Amino acid sequence: MSIFTELQDRFVYYQNLITYENKPKAAKILFAVALIYLLSPIDLIPDFIPIIGWIDDLIIVPMLISMAFSRIEAVRRKDMEEKQKNSVSGQSTPDHCETI
C-alpha cells in the first residue's frame, strides 16, 4: 500500500469519526478544550519562549484530540455491536425510526 492511499484512508477514517452523528458529549468538550487551548494566550509554558513554548501546544493539543477520537470510536463500536446484536436476534429497528 502506498503512503498516499494510507494517508487517504486515515483522512476518510477521521472524517467519518468527526461526522459521526452520535458523538459523546465528552468528545465535544475535548475538541473545544483543544481548540481553546491552542488559541488561548495562556499556556503551561508561555509561547514567547522560543521552541520550548510551542512544545506544550504540540503535546497537549494532539493528546486532547486523540482522547476525543478514542471516545467517539468507543461509542461507534458500541453502537455497531448493538446494531449487529439486534439484527442477529431479529429485533432490528428501521433506520428511520427513533428509539425512545
**2 lies in a domain?**
no
**99 lies in a domain?**
no
**12 lies in a domain?**
no
Which range has the worst mean pLDDT, 20-34, 42-56, 60-74, 82-96?
82-96
In this predicted structure, what is the pLDDT of residue 35?
92
**Average pLDDT, stretch 45-53?**
83
Q: The C-alpha cell of 90 is what?
A: 431479529
**100 lies in a domain?**
no
Residue 9 pLDDT more than 80? yes
**Average pLDDT, stretch 55-79?**
93
**93 lies in a domain?**
no
- Domains contained in the chain, number: 1
**68 lies in a domain?**
yes
State how far the Cα of 65 lies from the Cα of 31, in Å rounded to an integer: 6
In this predicted structure, what is the pLDDT of residue 98?
56
Residues 6+ apart with CB under 8 A from 24: 71, 72, 75
Mean pLDDT, rounded, of the chain? 85
- Residue 57's domain comprises 21-88
Residue 61 pLDDT more than 80? yes
Is residue 72 within 8 A of residue 23, CB to CB? The reply is yes
**53 lies in a domain?**
yes
